[in-house]
Amino acid sequence: MVFLNPAILFGLIAAAIPVLLHFLNLQKLKRIEFSTLSFLKELQKTKIRKLKFKQWLLLALRILLIILIVSAFARPTLETFTIAGTSAAKSSTVFIIDDSFSMSVVKSNGSHFNFAKEIVKNILNDLQFGDEAVVLFSTERNNKKFTSNLNEIERELANANVSVKKQRFNEALLTANELLNSSKNFNKELFVLSDFSDQTLAEKITKQNLSFDENTKLYLFNFGDDEFSNRVVTDFQLNNQLLENGKSISFTTQIKNTKGSSVTNGVASLFLNGTRCAQQSFDLQENESKSILFETTLNNSGLVEAYVEIEQDDIIQDNKRFAAFLVPEKINVLLASDNRNDNRFVKIALASASEQTVANIKEINTSELSYNLNNNYDVIIIIGSKNISSTKELNNYIEQGGRVILFPGKQSEAADFQSFLAGLGVRTNISLIGEPNSTESISYFNVVEYEHPIFENLFEDRKDTKVESPEVYAYLKIMPQQNLRPVISLSDNSLFFCEFIKENGRLLVFNSAPVLGWNNFPVKSLFAPLINKSVLYQSIQKQSGKNIVAGESIDIKTVDLKLPQLKIVKPDNSEEFVNIEELGNHNYFTYNKTVQLGVYKFYSGNELMDYA
């Protein structure tokens, strides 16, 4: 047992007062003789003995009363001893501190967040020996427990900073509820320190909603302040689906004035790989939101990091928004054909590609296709299907994200081509219309879907988007259906060029062979650009990285890593290394340390595996 106020114990000296009074009140008895002494002797033996006993008992009670009063003021406390599962009058205290970036607003006494930390420190100083406490932060996944080491809590507070991660206030409240309800201490306290930027939050934090017992005390510290300004970049999107070096690129961003007076001539800037590429001014009324369009020329290849930024205000953490995307440097193409003569014009078209997007081409016969379905190629072009014995491997390749462009060959027949497409999931009746090398029945383009991404930046003048139709002498008639997206239709509404999306992959299908006997398309001005745009469109696995919020995890596919070590480059360019062999699951790796704003890059050696 210890005493919280040991100086009061000097008051025990007062216990001597009743003893002194007792002895001072004792008097000598005078001797008086008279007759019948036998009666007095009997009285001495019985009554006087009882009287003395009462006097001593009264003395003891007086002393005990003084001792108890002094001890009560000295506040005795049991250190570890408990009786019947209960503890002495200790306290269990939970602090929930809002560490979202809205608490970074600075006033005369410093930022709201630092002021909240000072309040918690002052309360910790008032806690007594044996009390327990815990600090929960609103953006963290809290699995903490009570501790009686208050110095440890103070060190944690000293190292705490405002976070850019997503708010998890409800989770913090649930954790506080569980901790306090499971505590055996009599005194329980919950302190919530926030600016309550979510106006509904204060309404949720009541003893009734949180199911606290009657011994729990709830304290709210509201740092809300109407006298600050804040504009927020709420969205940032890349508009292009085809990305080519030297071509135009555009972004759309959304900006909202969430707090403060109206804004006149505010400035928003677009940055690509750290270089300012475009700038726009904007006006915003209070609570108004506005979209801003940026357009610039893309002069980068490989991974491009983009962000939009507005001028600083009282909360700077929400003034930026990030994106990243891959611009192909070299596209690896596998060109498979039943007959090498069938791919002549396709090869010429690929050779005419711009210097910014160079295609590396490997030619094989379609009979060798199953041995080449791997990740070494960005796009596979297939011309003819007579030599392909099975579609199973190709079907799996497309489902897992493979990109394929398919033409009939010079010797293709309707029944074979129909069976081949059915094996890939395109089930439709196909018939041969017209005859190769015959001009008796000629078909022309009817409808061209210029809104398809393949036609992005295909025309220098966006207003003049008319194309010269080739003469189509023979084609395999494919009619529209739900799972086929038309790109170019013929005069009989059949699909000259269409798109089929399958799981994670994509298949582009032409219905006429790329040879002069079937049509004169290869000698038309549209042929080479359309082939190259189709290859570019298919090569882009994803236009931008995973869009995540700070604090969320990133799942990285590691099954194709060539090295056992994964390198992570964080937004501040610091690096972290992970040995994949030490992970339980070698197929996927989950990265949780996303505490910075910006782009995270994942490498196997020098090869970029993923980004977010």
Do both 172 and 107 map to the same domain? yes
CATH number at residue 167: 3.40.50.410
Q: How far apart are CA 325 and CA 318, in angstroms?
A: 21
CB atoms within 10 A of CB 153: 21
Domain termination site, one of 294, 327, 360? 327
Of 11, 17, 140, nearest in space to 592 by CA: 140
What is the domain range of residue 112? 91-222
The whole-number pLDDT of residue 143 equals 82
Has residue 602 been placed in a domain? yes
Do both 318 and 343 map to the same domain? no
Do both 386 and 521 map to the same domain? yes
- Kindly write down the DSSP assignment for every residue of 209-267, as one continuous string: HHT--TTEEEEEEE---SS--EEEEEEEEE--SS--TTSEEEEEEEEEEEESS-EEEEE
Do both 370 and 446 map to the same domain? yes
- Kindly write down the DSSP assignment for every residue of 236-247, as one continuous string: EEE--SS--TTS
Splitting the chain (612 residues) into consecutive groups of 10 residues, what average pLDDT does each group show? 65 74 62 56 62 76 82 63 49 94 85 93 91 94 88 93 87 90 90 85 68 82 82 93 87 92 93 95 93 94 93 90 87 94 94 72 94 90 93 93 95 95 94 94 94 83 74 96 94 96 91 97 95 91 65 81 87 91 75 90 88 88
At 462, list the tokens.
Answer: 């966006």
The whole-number pLDDT of residue 83 equals 37
Domain count, the chain: 5
Cβ(128)–Cβ(4) under 8 Å? yes
**What is the SS3 assignment for 172?**
helix
Q: Which phi and psi angles does 23 have, rounded to 5°?
A: -75, -30
Domain termination site, one of 222, 250, 284? 222
Do both 532 and 450 map to the same domain? yes
Domain termination site, one of 172, 191, 222? 222
The whole-number pLDDT of residue 246 equals 84
Do both 286 and 334 map to the same domain? no
Has residue 546 been placed in a domain? no
pTM of the model: 0.71
* H helix runs in 82-168, sequence order: 112-126, 150-159
Do both 322 and 354 map to the same domain? no
Has residue 214 been placed in a domain? yes
Do both 437 and 519 map to the same domain? yes
CATH number at residue 484: 3.40.50.880
The whole-number pLDDT of residue 302 equals 87
Q: How far apart are CA 524 and CA 496, in angstroms?
A: 15
Has residue 321 been placed in a domain? yes
Has residue 448 been placed in a domain? yes
Do both 394 and 477 map to the same domain? yes
At 166, list the tokens.
Answer: 């997503």
Do both 489 and 527 map to the same domain? yes
The whole-number pLDDT of residue 209 equals 66
Residue 153 CB-half CA count within 13 A: 28
Has residue 84 been placed in a domain? no
The whole-number pLDDT of residue 82 equals 41
The DSSP bridge pattern shows strands 575-579 and 320-327 to be unpaired
Has residue 82 been placed in a domain? no
Has residue 544 been placed in a domain? no
Do both 63 and 182 map to the same domain? no
Do both 517 and 401 map to the same domain? yes
